[in-house]
Amino acid sequence: MAQARTPLMAGNWKMNLDHRQGTHLVQKLDWTLRDAKHDMASVEVVVVPPFTDLRSVQTLVEGDRLALRYGAQDLSPHDEGAYTGDISGAFLAKLGCTYVVVGHSERRDGHGESDELVASKAVAAYRHGLVPIVCVGEGLEVRQAGEHVAHVLAQVEGSLAGITPEQAQTVVVAYEPVWAIGTGEVATPEDAQEVCAAIRGKLAELYSVETADKVRVLYGGSVKSGNVASIMAGADVDGALVGGASLQPEEFAAICRYQQHLTA
Ligand SMILES: O=C(CO)COP(=O)(O)O
């Protein structure tokens, strides 16, 4: 079952790196991975830059035929029109994006995004041929109250509303406990596995066991090269959504090469 899912390492740059810095990072990341003879078919590598970097990243990736993929950090639920400051999935598709992050906690908390809005963004992503990386995760109080699994599963159900069984086969879900984001406090491998397994169980309930077995469930929150291998050991953890550590190309490449740490 598990071997059917290709591990996915996605670097969410958040509001860091302008387009010049971004292209420099992508070049260095590519060189580092090439030097290591990294096989993208065994671990997929994705960068998620700010919108303003995407055109430059596209030019580089297409021009130099780089094997890594890229995506955006958000999109509008609408396709076009009077939505000042918003970005359509149609534009992202034109820029060659494969993925788009929706429902990151920094948008849920900082911009009041509800599960309903996140779901409409995920639906919009599929409308334009993009694969949504749907983020869920509990805050510290919820975790301390022991309600984290129920909280996350409700978010999964709400945030996937309107996603068809066919679309669900390719969706990516990222479990990012808010208390672990940017804090250096990583979830234990057991914590990550517990929630990722519960998410897969929920997907089986919402869709089917076969579909749930295809979905990649990522962990995010203070992932580094030093802790990624133990987190990836969880049978239901299929990759990582990496913030801070993805801003350093060698460090992010080492995260993508986590299987080497296992034998090193
Ligand atoms: O929010 C995250 C990725 O989306 C995680 O951020 P950090 O890796 O910096 O904790």
38-57, pLDDT tens digit by residue? 999 999 999 999 999 999 99
Residue 220 C-alpha to ligand 1 middle, in angstroms?
Answer: 6
Q: What is the mean pLDDT of residues 254-261?
A: 90
Nearest ligand 1 atom to alpha carbon 220 = 5
- Please say whether the beta carbons of 49 and 98 come within 8 A: no
| pLDDT, tens digit (0-9, with 9 covering 90-100), for 19-34 | 999 999 999 999 999 9
The H-or-E segment that residue 164 falls in is: none
Specify the pLDDT at position 201. 98
- Asked whether residue 260 carries a pLDDT value surpassing 90, the answer given is no
- Asked whether residue 261 carries a pLDDT value surpassing 80, the answer given is no
In angstroms, the CA 232 to CA 4 distance is 15
- Asked whether residue 108 carries a pLDDT value surpassing 50, the answer given is yes
96 labelled ligand-binding: no
Specify the pLDDT at position 1. 43
Residue 134 C-alpha to ligand 1 middle, in angstroms?
Answer: 14
- Asked whether residue 264 carries a pLDDT value surpassing 50, the answer given is no
Who contacts 218 (Cβ-Cβ below 8 Å, separation ≥6)?
Answer: 8, 10, 133, 172, 173, 174, 175, 237, 238, 239, 240, 241
182 labelled ligand-binding: yes
pTM recorded for the entire structure: 0.97
Q: What is the mean pLDDT of residues 66-95?
A: 98
Q: What is the mean pLDDT of residues 84-106?
A: 98
Q: Show the DSSP H helices in 38-103 as ranges.
A: 54-63, 89-94
- Please say whether the beta carbons of 171 and 160 come within 8 A: yes
In angstroms, the CA 40 to CA 75 distance is 26
- Rounded to the nearest 10 degrees, the angle between the axes of helix 19-35 and helix 54-63 is 30
**pLDDT > 70 fraction of the chain, expressed in percent and rounded:** 97
In the chain, what are the domains? 114-222 (3.20.20.70)
User: Which 8-state DSSP code applies to residue 240?
Assistant: E
- Asked whether residue 131 carries a pLDDT value surpassing 80, the answer given is yes
In angstroms, the CA 63 to CA 191 distance is 42
- Asked whether residue 16 carries a pLDDT value surpassing 70, the answer given is yes
Specify the pLDDT at position 2. 44
Task: Please name the amino acid found at residue 79.
Answer: D
Q: Whose CA is nearest to atom 2 of ligand 1?
A: 243
Specify the pLDDT at position 262. 55
Q: Whose CA is nearest to atom 7 of ligand 1?
A: 243
Specify the pLDDT at position 49. 98
- Please say whether the beta carbons of 240 and 260 come within 8 A: no
In angstroms, the CA 181 to CA 187 distance is 10
Closest CA relative to residue 148, chosen from 157, 158, 138: 138
104 is catalytic: yes
| pLDDT, tens digit (0-9, with 9 covering 90-100), for 159-205 | 999 999 999 999 999 999 999 998 988 899 999 999 999 999 999 99
CA distances from 3 to 14, 81, 215 (A): 30, 43, 12
| pLDDT, tens digit (0-9, with 9 covering 90-100), for 233-247 | 999 999 999 999 999
pLDDT category at 207 given cuts 50, 70, 90 is very high
Candidate list 38, 44, 104, 106, residue with the active-site label: 104
Residue 14 C-alpha to ligand 1 middle, in angstroms?
Answer: 9
Residue 15, SS3 per DSSP: coil
Q: What is the mean pLDDT of the chain?
A: 96
Specify the pLDDT at position 86. 98
